[in-house]
Structure 1
Amino acid sequence: MAVAKSLKPGRIVLHLAVLLIVALWTLPTAGLFISSLRDKDQIAATGWWTALTTSTSNAVGRLKGSADQQQQPDGRYAITGNLFEEGATGTVTAFGIRVQNPAAYAAGTTADLGDGGTLTVNADGGYVQTSPTAFTEERGRRVFYVQATPPRFTLENYQRVLFSEGIGRSFVNSLTVTIPATLIPILIAAFAAYALSWMRIPGRNYLIALVVGLLVVPLQMSLIPLLKLYNEVGSAFGVPSKTYLGIWLAHTGFGLPLAIYLLRNYIAGLPKDLIESAQIDGASDFWIFRKIVLPLSLPALASFAIFQFLWVWNDLLVAIVFLGSGADELVLTGKLNALLGSRGGNWEILTASAFVTIVVPLIVFFSLQRYFVRGLLAGSVKGG
């Protein structure tokens, strides 16, 4: 019966739907990571799904030998060289002397250039051009060829991004903003949620309604008034307008309504007998909060921490308004946006930068994901 039940069409459809959602979420991330490790030329030529296969592409080169480098073995004039740049990898599978037919001759065979001239291009890119008369042109002729390039993975993209493009500084700025802007509202909201759940406060229901009402206030509507208020208070105490303190307080203010609402629902659902037993034994509210409520509220705390961390990490608007857009203040999202404008064709920089941007949220999410679903269900099941 159990086996038959597990094979119901509804369960099969559900499992397939979950697998599809996981695949849709995972494939772009995997593709971004693979692309960030590939050679820049291969990124521009082929997709990430071909990263483990040898890719072929049409290319054009110019014979590098000049008239003063020619030799005369066996009575014929010859110029030798290599189509590839120094350090390049790949092999030549075919070549041609006209753009209409770049694969006219297989690698290693000899092409007739007319007037007794010949050209041989080998698989390693080496060539020999011969002529019955002396070469007079200072510039070599163009050669079209088909190049096969084996897969190549490198960390050069990350080295360039972190140490040459200024991403490293922006990465530190984002961490400096995000970590306190996640911990501060959690700390404040946990105290407020306990007070609204288990302490007798006049007008408690009105306070809860006010918190719920604040959830629907758009950030864009309150951003400028909050900035003006912060600047006025800051000027009174001599605090500069563009500081980390300002953006910490801004994110705290924007995140507190959701934090209080989520934590209050969870804490209010804790077993009532447990709290009352501690109160009968003479425990203070702070002791109950620290020893009982906080350990039992880890799922809700972790769930909000994920939401808040992702929101602050990916934020650009609040960061520019309260912190600035200078080179020393720009957060990671702002720096990546600048790279999109100035380096739109450098895919190796963009892929590495994008993965640097998402790797920290991925670590946070997978570290706390076991609490995520339990925290989302906060308050749905009440204790006795």
Structure 2
Amino acid sequence: MLPITDIAPEDDFQSELPLEPMARQHLLELFDSAWFDPAKIHRNSAQLRNLINEARESIASHLGIASSELEIVGEIGFGFQCALAGLLTESKSKFIYSTVDRQVIHAFARQHQARGGEVLEQSVDSKGIVDFQVDSSREATLSFQAVNRETGVIQNAPKTSDKTAVFADMSSAYPLSNLPDNWDSAIWDPKYFGGPSGIALVGIANSGRWQNPGPIIDKRRVYGSFSKPLLLATAVALENWTKRAREDFVKLTELNSFIRQELASQIKDIKIAGDGDNCDPRFLAFVIPGTHSEEVLRKVEAQGVLIDAGSACGSGPLSPSHVLTAMGYSENGNYRITLKPAHNRQSLKKLVSVLVKGIAAGA
């Protein structure tokens, strides 16, 4: 098998994050000690059970929810299924979502409509902001996206009545605990705080409207298994990421402003999505008219820099971004970068330089 070519961390602007250092350091140890069945009464099982309970308590506290409201599932897609399907159990109910929601939310809307339900797709303005229109006089389910993982646009939670069930997509949010006041279900993706893939965090409010959409088996709300070592690694990653987050975000905010200025000054006709003052500094999306995304990515990589293009959740890595299209941008020449603590002004200048060279080469 061919080895994966190393790219320096300061030159990697892809959305994927490496595993948080402390979680990575202890990962093998966790796999060595967390393969027991925590439901059994033996000593090793009891020790693992205690570790899992401690991990759940730690994770829940960082998410701003009670440990009794936290569910662990083995895959982010299944997490969306659990969190949202439990609010759409009535086939004739109304489902409200936005054009910039993840594709999985759009799929839920199509399915709900096909089953006889009513859907309302809310548009965004040129800055990516949703003006939620919620009829407080009738029951509905609302999908709320806290932060868009392509553009970084931050949404304000809409005011809703007790007739509205709220699903909160917190997968790429910061702070992680910034939930709408009246949330019913929620989801977080560990990969955005340096946690492992193959696990997802689902919140089900104790006082919420969520109902188990599947068959009732004892008191379980979700089904299937999850990796116990990865759960413990998630708790370690979240604990350590949170300690550094405030300082890191100060740095990333400065870098986001810097790269916006550099891109605008060096690349003709570039369109940068969102207002930097209302965006998560980690995420940046832009359009370069007249360029071919695949060719630009190849030329940029040849110079030792990695970026993303197209949609973050399309059928392919170079599919047009439905988010940028909803904001009024072209379907072509869509690019994304993710800023990380390893980046600095010098690496950002290099990024802009190789982009300029790639465009000049006829990409």
| TM-score, length basis structure 2 | 0.24
Of the two, which has the highest radius of gyration?
Answer: 1
The structure with the largest helix share of the pair is 1
Relative contact order higher in (CA < 8 Å, ≥ 6 apart)? 2
